[in-house]
Chain A
């Protein structure tokens, strides 16, 4: 090395020369690497790299610009959610699982609650209105999640405008979430037995208007990328993974559907009443990044169709309960709108504090201790935006989960990184990883 470069210092190790790159002057780095006369270069991409979707570390062995080996390193976002849940009540569990895959919080909550309900044996007692709300929220969530996948995916391949528009559409959905749950993400809205609270006034009107707006915008956004020659060249034939590869690696979701197999749990193993909705399973037969991109793009319209049907159903179910009737499981009261915003229901507090000692005891026991869940284990799988999200839950009969494990599609699908990118160009691994759409909160949990 001739001169000291503050952006790319180097040091000698037993493995060879190591360069630390922090950005800035690449010319000096290229010159220095050229001086080493090494054909083989090992590049550590991440864990802090803008196009690795959060804290993902890719270790790439390169010969020139060709990847000969790719390995993914994970665990940088491990938070011990599964362990923590063993020390909280079943209801508190939703607050934890919602933080796993933070782009699909409502899917995490639903998978968890369906598993708890299966153990409780109340699957068929969930009120219809609660199930319809769950479906509607999940489909809205699918849209907001796909918007991030499409927007950041395009951004990572160098297209900036699609990202702005995608995040504008996502904002529309997040506003609906905020109106209904009070939060834009990590809502803990879906609870064992139903949902946290009924829809506020005007929610359905807002959703109807938003669906119209989004349908128009999605069509416009699609034209930004479909047919764009740079986009097509960066995505077509890239990140190839066929059906045999998908089954052996346990890959589900858009990556599996890009092989032409219409595998969608909403159709094949319906939950929350998905069998009562009209929608199509979107597939592609290209097995590549472009196919997965098209699938996500077209799933938006299918989600909008489902949301419209949900709104129709909810209008007919106005005033119906949103929590299971069993008072030993149902949360004692819903929140109510007061002068200072949404908070405790004053009517409920008046009742338990002033008129009924039994109600007070009941409230206190249910909120602090929680309900007992009969011993056993259950596995419930739902179709999250990224594939099969499975909640494996074990109860020992107590008021806390004995063991909770999430089969996270991101975690599983990220294993395909090597199969999709080895032998390809280093620039294409970005597209391949983006097409898997991993969310590191879900991968590491």
Chain B
């Protein structure tokens, strides 16, 4: 069996009973030149923000998108500079991603930014440990992130410090758990029809 055909490697076992294996996606820092307008953005930010090398952990360019991995302590500072100096006037929200395998940085918050002035997009990413899931709120920078942060809190349990009213937004107020986390089961019950049983989606066989 050729390597790569439908992703089969090694024994080429295609029965599908290998179980669901999910691994962390971890890109190293990208090398300059980044291409497109990304070098310009990085240069402008370095000029406008002397603590750049301290605050920005990694700069990743992948599939034509620039991601700045920001330390959470510096997030609000960086956000203000990006908004006021680099003209990223709009934040298109925040969404969480849960990587249980990335020990010490299980929860990621991703902020897509948009500049109306320069017609550019970049992305900020902040990662925090599961046991200390606190990220400073950027609502004072971009007021429109209010509901987005509430949703990310609701779905992942990330606490946005300084948010004006961090409550659940989609789930009921007394709900337990944060549904989008990987350790939160999808739920569902098996369905029996004419003697055959179909398990719920989270318990069906899945492919590597």
Contact = CB atoms under 8 A, between A and B. Distances in A.
A414 B62 CA distance: 32
Contacts of A398: 21-22, 207-208
B interface, size bucket: 35 or more
A84 B201 contact: yes
B180 A392 contact: no
B91 interface: yes
A250 B172 CA distance: 26
Contact of B147 (A261, A379, A403, A412): A412
B121 A251 contact: no
A119 B169 CA distance: 30
B207 A369 contact: yes
A415 B112 contact: no
Interface stretch (B47-55, B128-136, B138-146): B138-146
B83 to A, nearest CB: 9
Interface string A375-410: 111110100000010101011111110110101000
B112 A390 contact: yes
Interface in A74-102: 74-75, 78, 80, 82-84, 86-88
Interface in A105-126: 118-119, 121
A87 B27 contact: no
A400 B114 CA distance: 28
A419 to B, nearest CB: 9
A74 B170 CA distance: 6
Contacts of A328: 5-6
Identify the interface centre among B65, B90, B97, B171: most chain A CB within 10 Å of its CB.
Answer: B90
Contact of B206 (A74, A366, A400, A414): A400
Contacts of A268: 119
Contacts of B92: 250, 381, 388, 390, 407, 412
A378 B63 contact: yes
A372 interface: yes
A424 to B, nearest CB: 20
A189 interface: no
Contact of B207 (A247, A399, A412, A415): A399
A86 B204 CA distance: 13
A250 B25 contact: no
A249 B63 contact: no
Nearest to A88: B201
A411 interface: yes
A113 to B, nearest CB: 15
B7 A372 contact: yes
Interface string A238-263: 00000000011111100000000101
A247 B116 contact: yes
A299 interface: no
A397 B6 contact: no
**Most A Cβ at <10 Å: residue of B23, B67, B116:** B116
Contact of A87 (B21, B147, B201): B201
Contacts of B16: 368-369
Contact of A378 (B65, B96, B151, B180): B65
B17 to A, nearest CB: 12
Contact of B170 (A78, A370, A376): A78
Contacts of B5: 328
Contact of B186 (A83, A388, A407): A83
Contact of A415 (B7, B65, B144, B202): B144
B201 A83 contact: no
Interface in B3-41: 5-7, 14, 16, 21-25, 27
27 contacts: A75-B170, A83-B186, A87-B204, A247-B90, A247-B116, A248-B142, A249-B144, A250-B142, A250-B144, A269-B119, A366-B6, A368-B16, A370-B207, A375-B25, A376-B27, A376-B63, A379-B65, A390-B93, A392-B112, A394-B25, A396-B23, A397-B25, A402-B22, A402-B25, A403-B180, A412-B93, A415-B146
Interface of A: 74-75, 78, 80, 82-84, 86-88, 118-119, 121, 247-252, 261, 263, 268-269, 328, 365-366, 368-372, 375-379, 381, 388, 390, 392, 394-400, 402-403, 405, 407, 411-412, 414-415, 444-445
